[in-house]
């Protein structure tokens, strides 16, 4: 009798294990199938789009394009944005000689999505990049593969047409210096996505092992002396500009600081009244001063559009100025970032604009400057910034959508901002969702006073806008036309 019971139990256990294994295999198969279908990749359309870009008949007439993106720099960390502790004379001069925008946004409060938007001209969700990407095989990468990465996407999709790819076809020499953060395996590497030259890291400077690559070869193996990073990247930038002074170039200078861990060279360490964070920012300012001086010395000043911004708001340190919230929060301090542009003879000196604009507009502005039409086979969320920068237009967008990961959490329509119920910056209840909220950003940029009870109709109207946008994205998230 006992033997029969043991046999029955064994059969039951074997059957349970077999059933569990079958379910696991089936579940994995369903996920893989769902991922493949949900990605909605269409490489053929991108190949066709790139094939249609014509080389410039006279490349000497094309302007040079430099886009400098700091990492985790706060809205209030520059002198021209009100900082009294961090000295940024070169960026302040750049603003005085060009344009400064006060209502400029990153499309996401995190690294990878923000960078995807800048290079594609689209909300990052259209690229399925909603969260930071992690090095292949790292613990968080393995965990995120279980469902955090949308449709299993672990790098910029090959059917996205990136800004450097289009500029290459037009005749530009292209380079990325600094932080990529859009994948570390083929086909997601910088050189496979439009950059002729790459010097930097695939991921953030706090991810180990932190390796510096020149193109796809290791240039500096761990341990990397991060205190010299800004100096090294400045040298690379100056070399690239000098080597290409006779032809049009696009330089994407993706500064890895002031993202933690903070580092500054011996020449700048201890100089700032804002601690090591301030030292790091002041060295970035020095770096930009070196680039601007090189353009003057080489006679490229009037032929070069230079843009400076940040990928999102500050993390542990840094100032958001009058704004509420920080990185990874849907309040203004996580999304609204500095923006300065300079192009002598095109952008009038001292222009300050409150035009609602975002980092995906840089894509459209650069294409327009290069004489390349915007892609017509997909939704491009960005619009040409140049009329605003020239002082010829007072507005660009009337609506901006706030994403936290893949979740749509808020909308700004003109000066009204509506946030769905979500996690806030309340230290005592950080894990609890609160809201919804309605703010008037014109009278309350610090988002201190909820006006839902005072303006219920406006709140309801903005809530409906969110529902409609959600439905449209669900119906065609890739934005194919």
Query: CA 242, CA 373: separation in Å to the nearest integer?
Result: 29
- Active-site position among 111, 259, 263, 366: 111
Rounded CA-CA distance 88/321 in Å is 15
Euclidean distance between CA atoms 179 and 207, whole angstroms: 12
Q: Quick check: bond before 312 cis, omega within 30?
A: no
* Secondary structure of the chain as H, E, C letters: CHHHHHHHHHHHHHHHHHHHHHHHHHHHHHHHHHHHHHHCCCHHHHHHHHHCCCCCCCHHHCCEEEEEEECCCCCCCCHHHCCCCCCCHHHHHHHHCCEEECCEECCCCCHHHHHHHHHHCCCHHHHCCCCCCCCCCCHHHHHHCCCCCHHHCCCCCCCCCCHHHHHHHHCCEEEEEEECCCCCCCCCCHHHCCCCEEEEECCCCCCCCCCEEECCEEEECCCCCHHHHHHHHHHHHHHHHHHCCCCCEEEEEECCCCCCCCCCCCCCCCCCCCHHHHHHHHHHHHHHHHHHHHHHHCCCHHHEEEEEEECCCCCCCCCCCCCCCCCCCCCHHHHECCEEEECCCCCCCCEEECCCEECHHHHHHHHHHCCCCCCCCECCCCCCCHHHHCCCCCCCCCEEEEEECCEEEEEEECCEEEECCEECCCHHHCCCEECCEEEECCCCCCCCCCCCCCCHHHHHHHHHHHHHHHHHHHHCCCCEC
Q: Report the candidate in 370, 415, 366 with the shortest Cα–Cα distance to residue 389.
A: 366
Question: Is 111 annotated as catalytic?
Answer: yes
Question: Which of the residues 87, 128, 181, 422 is marked catalytic?
Answer: 181
Task: Let me know if 366 is a catalytic residue.
Answer: no
Place of tokens 């593969």: 145
Burial of 444 by CB count in 10 Å (0-12 exposed, 13-18 middle, 19+ buried)?
middle
Catalytic residues: 111, 181
């Amino acid at each position: 009798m006992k033997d029969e019971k043991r046999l029955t139990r064994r059969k039951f256990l074997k059957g349970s294990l077999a059933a569990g294994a079958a379910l696991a295999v089936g579940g994995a198969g369903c996920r893989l199938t769902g991922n493949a279908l949900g990605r909605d990749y269409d490489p053929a359309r991108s190949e066709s789009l790139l094939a249609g870009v014509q080389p410039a008949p006279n490349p000497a007439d094309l302007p040079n394009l430099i886009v400098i993106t700091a990492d985790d720099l706060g809205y209030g960390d520059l002198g021209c944005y009100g900082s009294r502790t961090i000295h940024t004379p070169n960026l302040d001069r750049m603003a005085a000689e060009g344009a400064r925008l006060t209502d400029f946004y990153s499309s996401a409060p995190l690294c990878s999505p923000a960078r995807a938007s800048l290079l594609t001209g689209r909300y990052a969700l259209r690229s399925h990049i909603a969260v930071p990407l992690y090095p292949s095989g790292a613990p968080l990468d393995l965990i995120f593969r279980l469902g955090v990465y949308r449709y299993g996407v672990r790098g910029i999709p090959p059917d996205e047409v990136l800004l450097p790819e289009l500029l290459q076809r037009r005749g530009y020499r292209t380079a990325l210096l600094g932080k990529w953060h859009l994948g570390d395996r083929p086909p997601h590497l910088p050189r496979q996505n439009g950059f002729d030259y790459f010097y930097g890291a695939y991921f953030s400077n706090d991810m180990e092992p932190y390796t510096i690559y020149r193109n796809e070869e290791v240039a500096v193996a761990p341990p990397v002396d991060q205190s010299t990073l800004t100096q090294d990247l400045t040298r690379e930038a100056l070399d690239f500009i000098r080597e290409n002074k006779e032809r049009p170039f696009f330089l994407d200078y993706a500064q890895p600081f002031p993202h933690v861990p903070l580092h500054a060279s011996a020449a700048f360490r201890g100089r700032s009244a804002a601690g090591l964070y301030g030292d790091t920012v002041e060295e970035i300012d020095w770096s930009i001063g070196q680039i601007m001086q090189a353009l003057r010395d080489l006679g490229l000043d009037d032929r070069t559009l230079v843009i400076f911004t940040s990928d999102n708001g500050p993390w542990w340190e840094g100032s958001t100025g009058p704004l509420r919230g920080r990185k990874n929060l849907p309040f203004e301090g996580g999304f609204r970032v500095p923006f300065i542009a300079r192009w002598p003879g095109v952008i009038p000196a001292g222009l300050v604009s409150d035009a609602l604009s975002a980092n995906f507009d840089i894509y459209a502005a650069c294409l327009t400057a290069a004489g390349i039409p915007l892609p017509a086979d997909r939704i491009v969320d960005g619009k040409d910034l140049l009329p605003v920068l020239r002082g010829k237009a007072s507005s660009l967008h009337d609506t901006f959508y706030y994403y936290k990961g893949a979740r749509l959490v808020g909308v700004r329509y003109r000066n009204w901002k509506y946030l769905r119920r979500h996690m806030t910056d309340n230290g005592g209840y950080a894990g609890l969702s609160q809201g919804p909220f309605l703010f008037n950003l014109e009278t309350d940029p610090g988002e201190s006073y909820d006006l839902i009870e005072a303006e219920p109709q406006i709140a309801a109207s903005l809530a409906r806008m969110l529902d409609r946008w959600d439905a449209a994205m669900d119906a065609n998230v890739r934005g194919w036309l």
